[in-house]
Amino acid sequence: MKRLQVDIRQLRPIPLEVGLHCGQGELLALVGPSGSGKTSVLRCIAGLHHPAGRIVCGGEVWLDDALGIALSPQRRRVGFVFQDYALFPHLTVLQNLTLACRLPGDRAREKARRWLRRVHLAGLEDRRPDALSGGQRQRVALARAMMRDPAVILLDEPFSAVDQVTRRRLRLEMAELKRTLQIPMILVTHDLEEAEMLADRMALIHRGRILQQGSPSEVMLRPVDAEAARLVDIRNLFRGRVIAVDRVRGRCRLRWEGGELEAPWRESIQVDATVDWCIPPAGLLLHSRRRPSRGVRENPVRGHIVEIVRFGGRAQVVLAPVAAPEKRLHLDLPLHVAERNRLAVGDPVGVSLLCRFIHLMAPLNRRSR
């Protein structure tokens, strides 16, 4: 089983205390702000840093400080795609690839041509990197990484240097390639959309520590705490108090800004507990001005529109609740819904906070770290 297991810690150059795993054929997105330690984790896996701890890939121990094992980068079968691609500018595309391969000349060149066909670069073998577009250089870097028959692929923000249109195309190509590879892949990215699109699992890292691991939907919709919620850009983040629990229905009542909300309940949540809670923009249902819906009765909140941003067929609407005008509720609507309801800044509107989307969390100052 080609599985990567990483349990590492170090104090410098960047403090790390990281435990993560990535299975065969799985892509793990390592997500966090700048300076959180994402690239340092990749460099530790590749053998460019030697932290304390243990790294095992495909049953082979690459690092075990207790046993005195620390394989050099050359002895670790790692394919590394760097953020700036790190291609040799004086070599052709074909030469860049064959240099990464240990096969003799003709066999190395044939293998390189196969990989160039797989990344849609056939015919560009004799070009140098400065004659390629950013997307083409990214594909060359990926093909070069695969020339080593790696046991793991490490991708350090591989799409950050290309324009938005090229980035979308490269993501689709990466998703297609991922389906054919039966090795662990770790993608470092700032882009939550990118992680959601490509990753089987996501690990959220902050200040050198893994805050949460799980599927992208789990991490982004059910963060472990307010700190994790902010890192995945959850804007509807508030604090309330649990005032009642219905164990039979699996629901609780939440006091928030003088009103009450119904929310999902779980065993760890007790009556009278103070909790942080969040809800994604998609969990807010606009009350139609023309035809009331059944959702009007579910956690209704009245407010005034303070901002509308329209783009890409969507409308992002920001409300100031009547009961708490200093707070902000964000909802995301299809543009035609906003236009049909003739929404404008200053308008009074009603929304429902759909119960199933509300997620409760223990406050940071109550959690043991």
**Which tens digits make up the pLDDT trace of 26-50?**
999 999 998 899 999 999 999 999 9
Which of 197, 212, 230 delimits the end of a domain? Answer: 230
Residues 88 and 210 in one domain: yes
Q: How many domains does the chain have?
A: 3
Residues 183 and 316 in one domain: no
Segment 221-237 mean pLDDT: 94
How far apart are the C-alpha atoms of 135 and 308, rounded to whole Å? 34
Residues 347 and 253 in one domain: no
Residues 74 and 87 in one domain: yes
Return all residues near 280 (Cβ < 8 A) that are at least 6 apart: 220, 221, 234, 236, 357
Residues 185 and 54 in one domain: yes
Residues 60 and 13 in one domain: yes
CATH number of the domain at 327, please: 2.40.50.100
What does the block give as tokens for 183?
């090795």
Nearest to 307 by CA among 299, 298, 315, 295: 315
CATH number of the domain at 267, please: 2.40.50
Which of 196, 212, 230 delimits the end of a domain? Answer: 230
Task: Indicate if the pLDDT at residue 59 is higher than 70.
Answer: yes
Task: Indicate if the pLDDT at residue 368 is higher than 60.
Answer: no
Residue 112 vs residue 366, higher pLDDT: 112
Task: Indicate if the pLDDT at residue 16 is higher than 90.
Answer: yes
Residues 361 and 326 in one domain: no
Q: Supply the pTM of this predicted model.
A: 0.88
At 58 the pLDDT is 92
Residues 131 and 221 in one domain: yes
Mean pLDDT of the chain: 91
Terminal Cα distance for the chain, rounded: 33
Segment 266-279 mean pLDDT: 92
Residues 244 and 145 in one domain: no
Residue 294 confidence class, pLDDT cut points 50, 70, 90:
low
Structure confidence by residue, pLDDT tens digits, 295-309: 568 999 999 999 999
Which residue range is the domain that position 333 belongs to?
281-286+294-353
At 130 the pLDDT is 93
The lowest-confidence range among 43-57, 161-175, 241-255 is 161-175
CATH number of the domain at 154, please: 3.40.50.300
Residues 177 and 241 in one domain: no
DSSP 264-324: E--TT--TT-EEEEE--GGGEEEPPSSS--GGGGSSEEEEEEEEEEEETTEEEEEEEETT-
358: three-class secondary structure by DSSP: coil
